[in-house]
Amino acid sequence: MKTEEYLNINKANWNERVSIHKTSELYGLENFKKGKNKLHQLERDELGDVKGKSILHLQCHFGMDTLSLEMLGAEATGIDYSEEAVSAACELRDELNMRSEFVLSDVYSLPEKLFKKFDIVYTSYGVLIWLPDLKKWAEVINHFLKDDGFFYMAEVHPASMIFDNSGNSDEDKILKVTYPYFEKSEPVMFETEGTYADKNARTVNNITYEWQHSLSEIFMSLLNTGFKIEFFHEHNFTVWQQFSWMKKSEDGYYRFDSDIPLLFSLKAKKDMNVTRKT
């Protein structure tokens, strides 16, 4: 199967799930409409003051994080390849009388559709597995970033993605290595009804294809594109119920007893003293 076919199957999955996510407890849309900022404290602290900054948000889903950046004073632009997601994002923006721009595009095609530079390029939580080529991803980030700007991401740690998280009983609390850590020539196929935001939802487009990316692949894609890493942090908490026995803490994060990395975050800037590798 060609990469384009994998991506179209994934897009059908995402298109179907937008309406489910809008009504889910995980996304908390009604509280957001009442003024609750959707960004977690982690990314707010690590992004710093974004007031007056232009921010490009890659893979923005239906726009809540993009609009949350606007709430903090940023001039935000969100992009996503799901027609349903971008339509919902525009509808939400208009309902709240906000200004953020939303662009329908996959990451790789964005330079053909958007023609400006940004102070910050931002992406977060469950995005990299939908991208087959991180070299091109890093090149797009580089393309849209001003020379004095920075790239920031908070993402699911790839080490946590090797474990089976399909179980629901106490016996399933044992972490079982099931999936590859390193990149493979072909994506891993999953067939799962429902969604991480509502596992009981009835859905039709249940097949997805995911690309696993190791930390070294993520790092080298950025370094070889002319970035220098300002910081890299690993975290033993996450923002969703990745494993069924995880409990939500008072601070809004999910944790469990096994001390493994569940999230990572990094900040990178263009290294103006090196020549970009090709």
User: In the predicted model, what is the mean pLDDT of residues 257-268?
Assistant: 92
- Average pLDDT for residues 138-165, to the nearest whole number? 96
Per-residue pLDDT for 142 more than 60? yes
For the segment 61-94, what is each residue's pLDDT rounded down to a tens digit? Answer: 999 999 999 999 999 999 999 999 999 999 999 9
Mean pLDDT of 44-56: 98
**What number is the average pLDDT over the span 139-143?**
98
Burial class of 266 by CB neighbour count within 10 A (0 to 12, 13 to 18, 19+): buried
Please report the pLDDT score of residue 118 as a whole number: 98
Average pLDDT, the chain: 94
Weakest-pLDDT range from 50-54, 113-117, 227-231, 245-249: 245-249
Q: What is the model's pLDDT at position 172? A: 63
pLDDT band at 274 (very low <50, low <70, confident <90, very high): low
User: Over pLDDT 90: what percentage of the chain?
Assistant: 82
CB atoms within 10 A of CB 176: 12
Read off the pLDDT of residues 21-35 as tens digits, 9 standing for 90 and up: 999 988 999 999 999
Domains, the chain, ordered by start: 3-270 (3.40.50.150)
Residue 195, strand partner residues? 198
Q: How many CB atoms lie within 10 A of CB 73?
A: 12
Residue 153: is its pLDDT beyond 50?
yes
Strand order from edge to edge, sheet including 227-235: 101-104, 75-80, 54-57, 118-124, 145-156, 263-270, 227-235
pLDDT tens sequence across 4-16? 999 999 999 999 9
Indicate the helix (H) or strand (E) that contains 154: strand 145-156
pLDDT 10s digits, 155-183: 999 999 999 887 665 566 788 899 999 99
Residue 204 has pLDDT above 60, yes or no: yes
267 or 168: which leads in pLDDT: 267
Q: Is 35 helix (H, G, I), strand (E, B) or coil?
A: coil
Strands 118-124 and 54-57, how do they pair? Answer: parallel
pLDDT (0 to 100) of residue 74: 98
Confidence at 278, pLDDT banded by 50, 70, 90: very low
Cα dihedral value 84, 88, 89, 90, nearest 10: 110
Average pLDDT over residues 111-124: 98
Give the per-residue pLDDT at 247: 84
Mean pLDDT within 43-72: 98
Rounded mean pLDDT, 130-156: 98
Predicted confidence (pLDDT) at residue 199 exceeds the cutoff of 90? no
Segment holding 94, helix H or strand E: helix 83-95
